[in-house]
Amino acid sequence: MLLKEIPFLPSFVRSPLRQAFFVQGLAGGLVAGGLWLLPEGAVPLLGAAVLQGIVAALFSRYWGVPRWWHGIHLFFLPAAVLLGRLAIAPGWYLAAFFLLWLTYGRTDRSQVPLYLSNARTAQAVLQLLPARPCRVLDLGCGQGGLLRRLARARPDSTFVGIEHAVLPWLWGWLTSIGMRNLQIRYGDFWRESWASYDVIYAFLSPVPMPRLWQQARLQMRPTAWLVSNTFAIPEVFPHQVVEVADHRATRLYCYRLASSSPAAAGMHFP
């Protein structure tokens, strides 16, 4: 159960960031209430912060918050207490926050961390591409490493990547200069039309997968393919699952809009 589905939550608690503040506040209130019953100074400040982090992490786990939030809840307040003991100018904290925003964008809204596709995954995707010239879109392309490998291997085809985080997009754009069949765009891939692409590749997270499938069905051509790295679409049977021989044991879930029958293993897209 997702945090936003719990009946007693206030209606304004909808975004992941607000949910995080709610969990932190609830855990902090419970710990503060418990400490109020103890003699003053019985628990040091850092110990109280660690206890609050444990309670917040347990709440986030119980309510089905994505795993990567558990560590944030666990370490947020203890880290704040430790950093508060250091003589660090406030401007450095602002600079660190700005750097994180440039690198990861609004991850609190998208709920999609920065995942990078490795070389073996790129090779597996290359084997899946149609033999004819095609158009390929990478949703949330990061710094564009996968697309650069594909564009070099298939000069007859067109590759487009869309990224909303500033630094990965900038790096991808700079490193793709001079590659005529590759475009790295800054923006929101949900606002992009998917209708003109033969293959769409996504390495997102479990959270947006239902929305991904809904938009794919609305916009993609019946003969187009949707390839999802690692994360399957709930309640939709993939036509093909490609096992990648890398250290992550990556799986590529391949969906075709035209029909529901599975493709034979080892085939590439026609």
Amino acid at position 23, single letter: V
Percent of the chain past pLDDT 70, that is, above it, reads 80
Angstrom distance (rounded) from CA 60 to CA 64: 6
CATH 3.10.20.740 fits 119-256, yes or no: no
pLDDT interval class at 59 (50, 70, 90): confident
Q: What is the pTM of this model?
A: 0.68
Q: Where are the alpha helices (DSSP H) in the chain?
A: 16-36, 45-62, 67-84, 90-104, 107-110, 119-128, 145-153, 166-175, 209-219
Q: Which tops the pLDDT comparison, 135 or 40?
A: 135
Position 111 scores a pLDDT of 57
- For 88-125, what is each residue's pLDDT tens digit? 777 776 777 767 766 666 655 555 666 778 999 999 99
Position 113 scores a pLDDT of 62
Position 1 scores a pLDDT of 38
Instruction: Decide: helix, strand or coil at residue 225.
Output: strand
Instruction: Decide: helix, strand or coil at residue 189.
Output: helix
Cβ-contact 35, 43 below 8 angstroms: yes
**Average pLDDT over every residue of 205-217:** 91
Q: What is the domain partition of the chain in residue ranges?
A: 3-87, 119-256
Beta-carbon count within 10 A of 85 CB = 9
